[in-house]
């Protein structure tokens, strides 16, 4: 069995001026993500939680071992949709993914899930069980823009996330005409992720005076409004 790779992660709330400064630094030492279009992409996610908002409460309480499920696609392209499970243990994170067709994703949104029980992808079977026995259900759409940079040594990924929007209680995330609204005064977020080590050239490039590591959650920010 392949070993699970847990990743380190920093998050910082930054200003627009911070982003301009960091973008110039990172462009000199990192490569843009080859999957980005014009240096960025639009991300749409649908997050799941149970009736007692387990994922939301565990994030707010800083529970040491927690997980959350979402379905996600990029740039409005519904030909490549993923179910994702993000897990955190002792501050380290990992992500599991399973491919979904547009029809499969819509059936999950609609609550038609029996087909998942026999699916060959283990993550889909796990998700089915947790929908059935833990009551996981769609909660809210989260939209935002991401600018990603990559650096091969250390498998480093640095991103700027901004223009965070919420679908309130709307869950039909495959409807590209679905209206979303700004999630309050949401900040711009710098995220730095790496495997076993963070090269000093990247560590130095992302340093900002007076900026502290934050536990900001886009899901939490959007759930404030629904």
Taking 90 as the threshold, does the pLDDT of residue 224 lie above it? no
Distance between CA atoms of residues 191 and 145, nearest Å: 13
Using alpha carbons only, give the angle 189, 66, 55 rounded to the nearest 5 degrees: 75
pLDDT digits (tens, 9 = 90+) for 137-157: 999 999 999 999 999 999 999
Phi, psi at 117, each rounded to 5°: -60, -30
State percent of the chain over pLDDT 70. Answer: 97
Q: Label residue 1 by pLDDT band (50, 70, 90).
A: very low
CA dihedral of residues 95, 179, 173, 160 (deg, nearest 10)? -20
pLDDT of residue 131: 96
Distance between CA atoms of residues 170 and 172, nearest Å: 6
Q: Label residue 213 by pLDDT band (50, 70, 90).
A: confident
Taking 70 as the threshold, does the pLDDT of residue 226 lie above it? no
Phi, psi at 7, each rounded to 5°: -115, 150
Question: Which tokens hold the place of 99?
Answer: 């491919």
pLDDT digits (tens, 9 = 90+) for 12-44: 999 999 999 999 999 999 999 988 888 899 999
Distance between CA atoms of residues 163 and 79, nearest Å: 24
**pTM for this entry:** 0.92
Higher-pLDDT residue of 169, 1: 169
Secondary structure (3-state) at 215: coil
Distance between CA atoms of residues 159 and 144, nearest Å: 12
What does the mean pLDDT of the chain come to? Answer: 91
Mean pLDDT of the 169-180 span: 86
Q: For the chain, percent helix, then strand, then coil, each to nearest 5?
A: 25, 40, 35
Mean pLDDT of the 73-88 span: 95
């Amino acid at each position: 069995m392949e070993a699970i790779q847990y990743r380190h992660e920093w998050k910082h709330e930054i200003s627009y001026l911070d982003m301009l400064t960091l973008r110039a630094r990172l462009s000199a030492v990192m490569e843009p993500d080859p999957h980005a279009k014009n240096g960025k992409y639009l991300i749409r996610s649908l997050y799941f939680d149970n009736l007692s908002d387990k994922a939301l409460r565990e994030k707010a309480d800083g529970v040491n071992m927690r997980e959350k499920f979402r379905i996600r696609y990029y740039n409005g392209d519904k030909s490549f949709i993923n179910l994702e499970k993000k897990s955190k243990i002792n501050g380290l994170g990992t992500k599991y993914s399973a491919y979904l067709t547009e029809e499969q994703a819509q059936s999950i949104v609609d609550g038609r899930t029996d087909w998942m029980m026999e699916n060959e992808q283990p993550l889909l079977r796990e998700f089915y069980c947790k929908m059935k026995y833990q009551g996981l259900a769609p909660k809210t759409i989260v939209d935002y823009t991401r600018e990603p940079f990559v650096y091969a040594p250390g498998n480093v990924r640095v991103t700027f996330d901004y223009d965070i929007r919420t679908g309130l209680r709307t869950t039909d995330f495959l409807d590209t005409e679905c209206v979303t609204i700004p999630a309050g005064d949401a900040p711009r977020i710098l995220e730095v992720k790496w495997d076993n080590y963070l090269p000093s050239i990247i560590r130095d490039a992302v340093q900002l005076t007076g900026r502290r590591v934050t536990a900001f959650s886009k899901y939490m920010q959007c759930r404030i409004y629904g």
